[in-house]
Amino acid sequence: MPLLRRLPWKTPAGGPREPGRVAKAVRNLGLRHAVVTSVTRDDLPDGGAGMFALTVGEIRAAAPGCGVELLVPDFGPAMERSIELVARSAPDVINHNIEVVRGLFRGLRPEGDYALSLRLLRLAASSGIPAKSGLMVGFGEGMEDIRATLGDLLESGCRCLTVGQYLQSRRDGHPVVKYYHPDEFEEIGAMARSMGFAAVLSGPLVRSSYHAAGMAEEACRGRVNH
């Protein structure tokens, strides 16, 4: 039975065509690793999980050799069912960015939920799929704040980590409190590896999708070795 017929919620009119278009683009571009994301879809009962799952299936059919990484929102109240649906589609990586250290999270991400994000990563990891998260620095956090947040991510089962420099994107945005030196990013990366992360990229220009294929390969090696 097609996956769409097994979805617990109806998808929006015309929506089911989008996964096929994404898969066609992946095939035509000859990608070896595709990172699929979306805006937050609080208007959908499943938070968009069904569309993520369908897109994985379409990419597998159109480009069998391509890795698939999903960068997902927290899915809101339906998170448990949504993550279960996403995990059943068997992506290579489930990525959800924590973005900000624990101590600054509430002030900088008032619409987010730190504990909910950790629970999502825990559910992803418990499904057997590598869980990945990203942290931005430069908001005024200290090294101990970073260490504490990395500890929370590890406890949730997350083993893949990206750390990058926050940049103010608009005039009324939060100001950059600190520009980290590349040596400090090296220090953060070394700390993360020593704590137990299997794959780490830490640098001023690092973002969620930076060298994503290589990180996925490292994560899979770490999963086999452990």
With beta carbons less than 8 A apart as the criterion, state whether 173 and 137 touch: no
With beta carbons less than 8 A apart as the criterion, state whether 46 and 89 touch: no
CA 114 to mean position of chain CA atoms: 14
pLDDT, one tens digit for every residue, the chain (226 residues): 344 445 544 444 445 689 999 999 999 999 999 999 998 888 788 889 999 999 999 999 999 999 999 999 999 888 999 999 999 999 999 999 999 999 999 999 988 899 999 999 999 999 999 999 999 999 999 999 999 999 999 999 999 999 999 999 888 889 999 999 999 999 999 999 999 999 999 999 999 999 999 998 887 665 533 3
Tokens of 146: 């970073």
Tokens of 211: 């060298």
- Distance (Å, whole) CA 34 – CA 54: 14
- Distance (Å, whole) CA 40 – CA 96: 12
Domain range annotation of the chain = 1-74, 92-226
On the CB side of 68, CA atoms within 13 Å amount to 28
Of 102, 97, 105, the residue nearest 151 (C-alpha): 102
Q: Among 1.20.59.10, 3.20.20.70, 3.40.50.720, 3.50.50.60, what is the CATH number of 92-226?
A: 3.20.20.70
